[in-house]
Amino acid sequence: MPKMLIFIITLLLILSNQVQANTSAAEAAALAWLEAIDSGQYEQAWETSSSLLKKPLSPHMLERTIGAARRDFGAVQSRRRISVVRETSMPGAPRDDYAVLTFQTSFENRPQITETITPHLEEGTWKVSGYYLN
């Protein structure tokens, strides 16, 4: 096998592992944030959020907004990731590194809800910048 082909394959494997590690870190940050929200620890969730989420929302506003959206859902029964998409831009946000994670979530009173959560790589740390329910 030519040396150049071996080099290219090795480089692709290294890059693939790096992308996988970054995606895992983004998902870990998203799940930790969701766990804080699920347990009613909105201030903790706000503290670990991206500045993109913190600027427009105070901790109290975050609690009111998510609390109102999930008020009748009840407790989380299960959450399963269904997709991860890496992006370099998001509407209304600066060009940067984002991961858009979609989860199929079952709540006590709503068996099938789609949650979309967007961590943003901010100063080397993944922090949640967006959360949407469908």
- Which long-range CB contacts under 8 A does 104-107 form with residues at least 24 apart? 104/79, 104/80, 105/76, 105/78, 105/79, 105/80, 106/76, 106/77, 106/78, 106/79, 107/70, 107/73, 107/74, 107/75, 107/76, 107/77
Q: How far apart are CA 35 and CA 105, in angstroms?
A: 13
Please check whether residue 106 is in contact with residue 112, taking contact to mean a CB–CB distance below 8 angstroms.
Answer: yes
- In tens, the pLDDT along 37-90 reads 999 999 999 999 999 999 999 999 999 999 999 999 999 999 999 999 987 877
pTM (predicted TM-score):
0.80
Amino acid 7: pLDDT: 47
- In tens, the pLDDT along 2-21 reads 655 454 544 444 444 444 44
Amino acid 128: pLDDT: 97
Residue 81 phi, psi (nearest 5): -70, 135
Amino acid 19: pLDDT: 44
- In tens, the pLDDT along 82-103 reads 999 987 877 777 788 899 999 9
Amino acid 1: pLDDT: 57
Please check whether residue 118 is in contact with residue 101, taking contact to mean a CB–CB distance below 8 angstroms.
Answer: yes
Number of helices (H), then strands (E), in the chain: 4, 4
Is a pLDDT exceeding 70 seen at residue 130?
Answer: yes
